[in-house]
Structure 1
Amino acid sequence: MSTPDRESTSRPVAIVTGGSRNIGRAIALALGAAGMAVVIVARSDRDAAETVVRELEALGTQATLMLADVAREASADLIVEHALERFGRLDILVNNAAIRREKPVEAMSFAEWREILAICLDGAFLLSRAAIPHLAASPAGAIVNIGGLTAYTGAPNRAHVVAAKAGLDGLTKALAVELAPRGITVNLVSPGRIGTDRSHASAEKNPAHHARNQTLLGREGTPEEVAAMVAYLAGPAARFLTGQTLHVNGGAFLP
């Protein structure tokens, strides 16, 4: 990958993994609307990622993209380096990349189990580890992990997804304790039933658990409602919040 011209900025800079569609796209746009420069990370869909970059630039902010597999250890350093080379700083990391497939556990291969955990959980660990020194140098460093409702309710045919998202909850608490002395907040946003485009291979079109997890409000949420919570946690008003799980689920789950 060629190195882009450096474009140092006084804006806060955020990395958003899985930022090319659905909740990730909405998060990127919400952060951009809040005045942040955004690095969009996508595994393979350059066209979708470039569209989000254009949308961010239309908002008057700076944006760039990087195609990378967050499950690969070498990718984490490259993603962080890309942000620093382009913008000269890093303030926010949003670990959103995930795939949500379904398969009965007795039919699930170890490779299928590992694929989900590698992207959802290993990727968050690797990116956080690479970002920590730079977030600590920020006056408002923050990590926001994106969890999921089934980590708390369980779901059929999703042992790998449930385990990965539950692991993110634990990682959030562990990092919040460890990184608080360095001024980095770490929180998790757990979406419930959100109306998203499920035509991509990374998600099931009709998840089985949707029939069980009805909302009190009688509707699905929107990606923008999840993104609003992420933008809040990434902003100056949330500096006294850390180690928390914020549920955006319309009352489908009451912790």
Structure 2
Amino acid sequence: MTTKELSGKVAIVTGAGRNIGRAIALALADGGASVVVNVRSNRTEAEAVTREIEAAGGKALVHVGDVTDAAAVQAMADAATKHFGRIDILVNNAALRREKPFSEMSYAEWREIMDVILDGTFHCVKACLPALRQSGAGAIVNIGGLSAHIGAKDRAHVVTAKAGIIGLTRALAHDLASDGITVNCVVPGLIGTPRPKDKPEPAHHLTHQTITGERGRPEDVAATVRFLCGPGARYINGQAIHANGGAYLGA
């Protein structure tokens, strides 16, 4: 029998319509949490995830809103507390996949990535913080990226933003510890997720080698997030936890 260690908890997962975000939403719901399924614009995807959760006996709420819009994020936090009465878990997963040589990169393209990954996380934490403080055992999990630790060609903006997420995780862990809130980062390695037909496999993916010899699944990342949100991880704080099959063995 699956342990419902998150029973009574309420979670917000950004970028939860597909791939890793979807898997995280499903995993937290499987643990007993009620889940706010956030997407930027694709309501159809969010509703599909919500139906999966509800079909398994869980509770979920769709919220369409861009994490770069502070007002939209505040509306999401308000909807969560109005519908479920609380917020205990925030998973900052929303991100963009972009590739461009630095010499050709415009400032607007640079800012687009920073706005989603860094500013979006800022907005979400700020909006959810009052409720997370009331939880008494709040958990924030930010989703990092392996490229922030090893670098990647044509991804200066993404690498920089994901490295910033590590710094923000550590800073928030210090700032929020007295509120009973843990802040950690899960760093996925090469995960097998569908890509648009018009976008080939990034070159840096081909250089990643895992000990297992296989790519991970979104569910592998989701299981790590679920653990960090649960009662067994309350002494883990300010950490970057790698889920990469041994592709990166550094600190």
Residue 52 (1) aligns with residue 49 (2)? yes
Q: How does 1:114-153 map to 2 (within 5 A)?
A: 114-153=111-150
Runs of 4+ in 1 over 6 A off after TM superposition: none
Greater shift, 191-200 or 172-181, is seen at 191-200
Q: How does 1:1-255 map to 2 (within 5 A)?
A: 11-199=8-196, 204-255=199-250
Displacement of 1:200 after TM fit?
8.0
- Cα RMSD, aligned residues only: 1.2
Distance 2:140 2:203 in 1: 30
Pick closer, same or farther for the CA change 1:250–1:129 going to 2, 3 Å: same
Q: Aligned to 1:30, what secondary structure does the other structure show?
A: helix
The TM-score with structure 2 as length reference comes to 0.95
Give the AA of the match of 1:252.
A
Distance 1:87 1:237 in 2: 24
Distance 2:195 2:164 in 1: 24
Give the AA of the match of 1:196.
T
Could you tell me whether the CA contact under 8 Å between 2:133 and 2:179 is conserved in 1?
Answer: yes
Could you tell me whether the CA contact under 8 Å between 2:136 and 2:179 is conserved in 1?
Answer: no
Give CA-to-partner distance per residue, 1:230-249, whole Å, 9 cap, x none. Answer: 00001111111100000000
Distance 2:61 2:210 in 1: 36
Give CA-to-partner distance per residue, 1:18-66, whole Å, 9 cap, x none. Answer: 0000000000000000000000110111111100000000121110111
Displacement of 1:205 after TM fit?
3.6
Aligned to 1:3: none
Greater shift, 207-216 or 172-181, is seen at 207-216
5+ residue gaps, structure 1, are 1-9
Q: Aligned to 2:122, what secondary structure does the other structure show?
A: helix
Q: Percent identity?
A: 57
Aligned residues: 244
Displacement of 1:215 after TM fit?
1.0
Give CA-to-partner distance per residue, 1:149-172, whole Å, 9 cap, x none. Answer: 000000000001001100000000
